[in-house]
A and B are shown apart, each in its own frame.
Chain A
């Protein structure tokens, strides 16, 4: 079945980097953008950025520009998100999600239709 399998929990010190992986299965990896969304405890989900697995193009939320990098390995259908210069406010569950387009007859609507199980990243000294 279609699924996204993420790497395990991480504990990092402030200033360090973290790299989270997301392995896709059950569908054509190159056919759907992968987005990353994070959610801190008690907060609403927050979009981090997107990756086009076909050509490697990326786009990041302004607040993460210069600190985040999204890459992929098409040979293993795996997407990666690396976040640098970690601070305590980056403590959150990070989800990779599949971005799908849904044609409703009038417009092309997009949504996140498949979610990974989440990776808890804890930043603490």
Chain B
């Protein structure tokens, strides 16, 4: 079974600064997907960024980028120019690419606080 580990229960960043959230995972599969989801107080799950394991290039979405290290099984999220609206729970998630019916396997989450 795949496990996803987020070792930072809470992180804090000042507005306009950069913060990196860490995520490691364990799998024996070679093809899979990795995601970062944002969950604000409304509890809506918002996809932040997605990475296919077969792609070496790190995914980026505006101020959000990842550092995907496949050999190290590491998938960190960097948020640049942090904004107050970035404050939320962030979940790292793994999904197998072998079977279309596989669910997302979530880490325990990191609570991000953004201070003015």
Are A and B part of the same complex? no
